[in-house]
């Protein structure tokens, strides 16, 4: 048996035989990081959920992503201790608790890679770890500041090395990310099939969750399920429970988690085939695929972002929304009003994964001037996983000053036709390889 069901009722798997090589690579990254920072050991604490204010209920637990990088099953009050040349040690919380379900017993396929020390309470295991100057501690559990010197907790250089290590994915991580795309693609399809007048955003969200088989706290981010003008709100999560009187458009930006790894997928749909909004969706879909095709080793992601603006400008001109050539649209900042967010970001254990804005030495790489929201400025290398998510929106707050300044540049009828539809975004998750990019999301849709 070399496969595991990652999600109990999903007909999808990850290949667990890839995990030992993943962990070996992480130990190499950690050893190099230790030697660079002058520490001898790292303790990575999984975290612990705090209580709501004046309450005895807990905020949902979110694992420290560095812990999740090493350990595929996640529970609170655990720690991984790494020391060069040693088998990693896992301090595993196994409480005697008749109020809550016990954490699952560790499965041999991953647990055999660690020396395991079980403990029952939340903190006394920390006393087994010598707080010498050679120790670095990664985490944010409040117990850590009580137990360790401040200088030992999250030392910047070591943390940066770990973040950089996470930017290139192992085969194990790619298989988890592929599974995350597969789970989300099936759920996206269920929502597309259910789109109809009378459906509310909240009802579509429930359809998504049921099809993905994931509850809210398992999803990698709050689902964006937007109808009509709500599609213009970039992070619309105020899902309405009443259906709109008339249906024009749907934008769904939703992912899934697989062993801690995220997918991040957006699709847009018109309720009226052939209308201008449907044509805009087709145009954004086409230019999105052109951008994905350019994802190559050595590509500066900033250039791809600027290229997206050029392609969007050409589409706006071609659809007679803007009556200026692409260069002039870029010069006047017009595309930045229609497409105000970044082209994409790294993806992994976090939906906006770490180290997108620094070079290999940890120095920051500036965003292009006037593009303050871009989350990835690096040159691409094989093993990066990132999103490509161009969009076009009618956001009056951003458009109005340009309409006032350049009234001849716009086709007001076209803008009025698009306004009730809000906007379009198409987002896929893409793996950089030494050759052609692998579009994990399109592959997942094709495999449904």
Residue 196, CA distances (Å) to 4, 30, 204, 208, 358 in order: 37, 51, 10, 15, 44
Dihedral of alpha carbons 263, 212, 393, 279, sign = positive
Cβ atoms < 10 Å from Cβ of 422: 24
Residue 61 near ligand GLY by CB under 6 A: no
Find the binder of Mn ion among 264, 353, 428, 429 (CB under 5 A). Answer: 264
Find the binder of Mn ion among 83, 141, 173, 253 (CB under 5 A). Answer: 253
Nearer to Mn ion, 4 or 234 (CB): 234
Q: How far apart are CA 255 and CA 171, in angstroms?
A: 20
* Residue window 67-106: x/- pattern of binding to Mn ion, with contact defined by CB under 5 A: ----------------------------------------
Q: How far is the CB of 427 from Mn ion (least distance, A)?
A: 5
Which entry of ligand GLY, Mn ion, none binds 429, CB below 5 to 8 A by partner kind?
Answer: none
Q: How far apart are CA 378 and CA 156, in angstroms?
A: 20
Q: How far is the CB of 220 from ligand GLY (least distance, A)?
A: 8
Residue 221 near ligand GLY by CB under 6 A: yes
Q: For residues 354, 360, 364 and 369, what is the CA-based torsion angle, rounded to 10 degrees? A: -90
Residue 389 near ligand GLY by CB under 6 A: yes
Residue 201 near ligand GLY by CB under 6 A: no
Residue 267, CA distances (Å) to 52, 181, 184, 381, 407 in order: 35, 13, 11, 27, 31
Nearer to Mn ion, 184 or 276 (CB): 184
Which helix or strand (DSSP H or E) is residue 19 part of?
helix 19-37
Contact (CB, 8 A) for 48 and 76 = yes
**Residue 157 token pair:** 């250089």
Nearer to ligand GLY, 114 or 346 (CB): 346
Question: Which stretch in 79-87, 174-182, 369-377, 425-433 sits in contact with Mn ion by CB under 5 A?
Answer: 425-433
Residue nearest ligand GLY, CB atom distance: 253
Size of the site for Mn ion (CB under 5 A): 5
Which positions from 297 through 336 interact with ligand GLY, judged by CB under 6 A?
Answer: none
Size of the site for ligand GLY (CB under 6 A): 5
Residue 428 near Mn ion by CB under 5 A: no
Segment 311-318 long-range contacts (CB within 8 Å, at least 24 positions apart): 311/287, 311/390, 312/284, 312/287, 312/338, 312/339, 312/390, 312/392, 314/287, 315/280, 315/283, 315/284, 315/287, 315/392, 316/392, 318/283
Q: How far is the CB of 327 from ligand GLY (least distance, A)?
A: 28
Find the binder of ligand GLY among 173, 201, 253, 429 (CB under 6 A). Answer: 253
Residue 264 near ligand GLY by CB under 6 A: yes
Strand partners, 117: 91
The residues that touch Mn ion, with contacts defined as CB under 5 A, are: 253, 264, 266, 387, 427
The residues that touch ligand GLY, with contacts defined as CB under 6 A, are: 221, 253, 264, 389, 427
């Amino acid at each position: 048996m070399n496969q595991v069901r990652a999600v109990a009722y999903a007909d999808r798997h990850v290949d667990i035989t890839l995990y030992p090589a993943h962990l070996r690579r992480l130990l190499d990254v950690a050893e190099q990081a230790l030697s660079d920072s002058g520490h001898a050991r790292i303790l990575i604490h999984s975290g612990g959920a705090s209580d709501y204010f004046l309450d005895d209920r807990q905020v949902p637990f979110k694992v420290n992503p560095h812990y999740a990088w090493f350990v595929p099953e996640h529970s609170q009050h655990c720690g991984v201790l790494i020391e060069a040349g040693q088998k990693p040690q896992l301090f595993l919380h196994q409480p005697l608790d008749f109020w809550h379900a016990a954490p699952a017993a560790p499965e041999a396929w991953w647990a055999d890679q660690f020396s395991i020390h079980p403990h029952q309470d939340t903190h006394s295991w920390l006393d087994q770890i010598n707080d010498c100057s050679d120790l670095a501690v990664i985490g944010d559990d409040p117990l850590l500041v009580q137990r360790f010197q401040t200088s030992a907790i999250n030392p910047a250089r070591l943390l940066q090395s770990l973040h950089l290590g996470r930017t290139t994915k192992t085969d194990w991580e790619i298989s988890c990310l592929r599974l995350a795309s597969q789970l989300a693609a099936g759920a996206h399809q269920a929502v597309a099939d259910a789109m109809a007048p009378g459906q509310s955003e909240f009802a579509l969200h429930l359809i998504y969750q049921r099809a993905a088989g994931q509850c809210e706290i398992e999803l990698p981010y709050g689902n964006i399920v937007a109808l009509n003008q709500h599609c213009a709100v970039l992070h619309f999560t105020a899902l309405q429970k009443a259906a709109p009187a008339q249906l024009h458009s749907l934008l769904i930006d939703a992912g899934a988690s697989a062993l801690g790894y995220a997918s991040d997928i957006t699709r847009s749909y018109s309720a009226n085939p052939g209308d201008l909004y449907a044509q805009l969706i087709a145009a954004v879909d086409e230019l999105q695929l052109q951008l994905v095709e350019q994802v190559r080793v050595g590509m500066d992601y900033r250039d791809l972002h600027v290229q997206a603006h050029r392609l969007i400008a050409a589409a706006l001109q071609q659809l007679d929304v803007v009556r200026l050539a692409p260069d002039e649209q870029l010069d006047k900042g017009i595309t930045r009003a229609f497409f105000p967010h970044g082209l994409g970001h790294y993806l992994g254990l976090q939906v906006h994964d770490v180290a997108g804005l620094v070079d290999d030495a940890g120095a920051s790489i500036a965003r292009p001037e006037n593009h303050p929201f871009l989350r990835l400025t690096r040159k691409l290398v094989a093993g990066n996983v990132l999103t490509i998510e161009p969009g076009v929106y009618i956001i009056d707050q951003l458009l109005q000053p340009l309409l006032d300044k350049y009234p001849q540049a716009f086709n007001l009828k076209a803008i009025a036709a698009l306004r009730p539809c809000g906007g379009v975004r198409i987002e896929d998750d893409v793996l950089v390889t030494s050759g052609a990019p692998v579009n994990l999301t399109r592959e997942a849709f094709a495999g449904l």
